[in-house]
Amino acid sequence: MSRRRTLGTKKKVALLVSAAAVAGGGAFVMASTSNAAQSPQTAAESTVCQGLATALGNNQRFIEGQRSAPDAQSAARIANREAVIAQIKVQQEASGCAVGESAQGSQAAAGQPSQAASAPAPASQAPPAGNTASGQQVCNGSTVTLSGEAGAPAASSNQFPAGTKLKVTNLDNNKSTTVEVTSVSGSCALLNNAAFEQVREPGKFLIRRALIEKVG
């Protein structure tokens, strides 16, 4: 009787170990599946990620321009934009996007039209700022995104000097804002956070169909 009980106990232990192994394997599979489901999205997979990548790329281009042709204020401008880039990366992580992804990289590879639109427009597409009549449409075909900068509603531009007033209309919801250009960027019109909030669609960081007008 003693021998049978001992063998019975051993069998029970073996069965429990096997069950634990199976359960552990199942948990591992579930954890792996969960991690895979939470993989960061790229700009090609998400409009939100694309907008943030474009904003990051615009600021990176601005910094590159300041470093290639520095002046007395370049160091301060670069430090400001580096802070903006850090904030954009925080937003990328919070939105489930690939942190550090820039429009200068993946979007070009994916063939997204917004990458070309966010680059400086050729002279044939938009007349020089000095020759643009007030109220005339400018930067045809450009998309609009945000710089990540705080403060009162404002814009930055690679075509219009500080003090120029631009009216930006989101044609997808007919919301518009008129802002003053306060700094230089890599886009025709790059809105700061406050200005972008006035015309954005919920959850989107990119305006694909934008009407940009010089009004002052």
What is the per-residue pLDDT across 161-181, written as a single tens digit (0 to 9) for each?
999 999 999 999 999 999 999
**Long-range CB pairs of 121-126, under 8 A, 24+ apart, other chains included:** 121/159, 121/188, 126/159, 126/188
pTM attached to this predicted model = 0.54
Torsion of CA 158, 161, 166, 169, to 10 degrees: 10
Q: Which residues of the chain have pLDDT under 70?
A: 1-37, 104-134
User: Which pLDDT value is given to residue 34?
Assistant: 45
Is 94:40 a contact under the CB 8 Å cutoff?
no
Token pair in block for residue 129: 């700022």
Distance CA 87, CA 93 (A): 10
pLDDT cut 90: percent of the chain above it: 22
pLDDT cut 70: percent of the chain above it: 68
Residue type present at position 68: S
- What domains can be seen in the chain, in order of their start residue? 47-214 (2.40.40.10)
User: Which pLDDT value is given to residue 201?
Assistant: 92
